[in-house]
Amino acid sequence: MPSTEPVGAVVHHWRQLPVTPARLTVGLSGGLDSTVLLHVLAALREALGYQLSAVHVRHGLIPGSTAWATPCRQICERLGVPIVVRDVVVTRDHPGGLEASAREARHAALREEADGALLVLAHHRDDQAETVLFRALRGTGVRGAGGMRVWGIGVGGLHIWRPFLEVSRRRLETYAQAHALAWVDDPSNQDVRFSRNFLRLDILPRLEARQNGAASGLARTGRLCAEAADLLDDLADLDLAAMGAIEARWFSHAAALRLTSARLRNVLRRALDGAGALMPDEDRLMEAERQMRLDSAAGGLRLVLGSHALCVYRERWWVEPAGLPVPEAPRVWGGEPRLAWAGGDVTFRPAVGQGIGASMLRSARCEVRLRAGGERLRPRPGGPERSIKNLLQEAAIPPWRRRVLPLLWVDGHLAWVAGVGVDAAFHCPPGEPGMVPDWPVTT
C-alpha cells in the first residue's frame, strides 16, 4: 500500500511510474498543496535523479491573484528551482462554462511550458473524495466516479502525475508546519455558492463526523470505479476492433448496430473520449444512439455533441470536430504548392505520369472554386461524362463536405474535383511531368 505521508507517497508512486522521467515540472499555484509538493520534490531530486522546474499560471479571474506569483518565485528561489510565470486569457463562451475554459487555458499553458517533462500536480485524497462525490451526484457513471488518476495522459499528450492522491490535506498541513512553509490561501475556495466548495466545506465534514474515514471510502470507491472504467474501455476497444477500422478512423455502421444499447453507448463514449470531446450527458448519448439506429442515418447523419459530432454515412460512422469549414470564394491558382481552402490546403504535388499534365497548366488561367450545380466530368478516357453529384455519391463523400469541395478549372474547363479525380481530357500522359492536386475530403 502507498504511504499516506507526503514523502513516502512520492517515493512509492515514483517506483510505479511506467517510465522513469528525467525532468519534472510542478504546477505551482502557491497554495498549501502545490507548495508542499514542490518542497518534497526538491528534497528528493538528488536521490531520485531528476531535474525539477515549476510553472505558475495566472488567469486573473480572482481579485488579487496576480500577486500570488511573488511567493511562488520566492520559494522557488529558496529551493533552487527555476520557475516560469505564465499569463493566460480565459474565454467566457466555452461550452463547458468558465471553469472548464480556465482549466483548458491552464492545461494548455502547462503543456507548453512543461515541454515534454512530466507534469506533477498536487491533488490529494480530499480532492479525490470531493471529485468522486461531485461526479456521482451528477450521475456521470463509473468513468466520472473514477475520479483522478495517479498517472495518466491528458489532452494533447500531456503526461500528468498526482503522487498525493492517497495523502490527506491534514497530512500536508502537518508537513508544511513542520518545515515552516508559507502558502497562499485562495479566498474563492471558501465561497459555498460553488458546488465543489459546498461539498468540501459542508458536506464532507458532516460525513466524516458521522462516519469516520468517509473521505478514504470515497477515494477508494473512485479507485474501484476507475478499475471498472478501464474494463469498459477494454471492452469498447474490442468492439471497435471488431468493427474493422477503415484507415484508422472510420468504423462499420452495420457492426455498431449489432451491439446491445449498453455496449454501443460504451463504444460511443470511448470514441468521443479518444477524440478529446467533452462528454455529453446520458440523455444526449441515448439520443445519439437512437438516431444512429434509424434507417435514415445511412443517408447522412451529423449530430453535434458539444465540441464534436457523431457522423454516419452509408456503411461508416466516425467522430469529428463539431465545426464545419466555411465555403470559400473563388481563388486563382498561380502554381504555388499550397492553396488555403476551407480550413485546410489544396496541395499540388509534382509527379511523372500522374495527375494533370503539366503542359496543360502552362500559361493557363487556373481557378479553384465551389460547385455551382450541374457540373460534369469524364473520369476515364473514352468513357461517358458523369454528373459531379453522382460521382460524389459513388465516392461516399458525406453531404456536409460536398458543399466546400474545391474544383479546379483550367481556362474555363473542369479539370479536377477533390475526392473524385482528374477529368480524362487533362490526364497526364505516361512518362511526362504532371501535377497531382489533393484536398482532404474528410476531417
Clarify whether residues 134 and 57 are in a common domain. yes
Helix (H, G, I), strand (E, B) or coil at 213: coil
pLDDT at 410 over 90: yes
Domain final residue, candidates 161, 195, 224:
224
Clarify whether residues 47 and 181 are in a common domain. yes
Q: What single-letter amino acid sits at 159?
A: H
Clarify whether residues 35 and 139 are in a common domain. yes
pLDDT tens digits for 204-241?
889 989 988 898 899 899 889 989 999 999 999 999 99
pLDDT tens digits for 38-86?
999 999 999 999 999 999 988 766 666 678 889 999 999 999 999 999 8
DSSP state of 366: E
CB 215 within 8 A of CB 126: yes
Angle between helices 32-48 and 69-79 (to 10 degrees): 20
What CATH number should be reported for the domain holding residue 310?
3.30.465
Domain final residue, candidates 174, 193, 224:
224
- Give the structural domain span for 259: 244-321
pLDDT at 3 over 80: no
Q: How many domains does the chain have?
A: 3
* Per-residue cell: 430: 505516361
Clarify whether residues 340 and 317 are in a common domain. no
Burial class, 309, CB count within 10 angstroms (exposed 0-12 / middle 13-18 / buried 19+): buried
pLDDT tens digits for 85-100?
988 777 766 555 656 6
For residue 233, being part of any structural domain is answered with no
What CATH number should be reported for the domain holding residue 89?
3.40.50.620
Number of H helices, E strands in the chain: 16, 21
Domain final residue, candidates 297, 321, 345:
321
Clarify whether residues 252 and 212 are in a common domain. no
For residue 215, being part of any structural domain is answered with yes
Clarify whether residues 174 and 251 are in a common domain. no
Clarify whether residues 198 and 249 are in a common domain. no
For residue 253, being part of any structural domain is answered with yes
Q: Could you tell me the CA-to-CA distances from 349 to 2, 154, 353, 356 in Å, in that order? A: 57, 36, 12, 10
Clarify whether residues 37 and 179 are in a common domain. yes
Checking DSSP bridges between strand 118-120 and strand 23-27, what pairing results, if any? parallel
Q: Could you tell me the CA-to-CA distances from 396 to 225, 312, 385, 414 in Å, in that order? A: 41, 11, 19, 21
pLDDT of residue 147: 86
Clarify whether residues 32 and 114 are in a common domain. yes
**Strands, DSSP E only, in 158-257?**
159-161, 251-252
pLDDT at 35 over 80: yes
Burial class, 130, CB count within 10 angstroms (exposed 0-12 / middle 13-18 / buried 19+): buried
For the chain, state the CA radius of gyration: 28
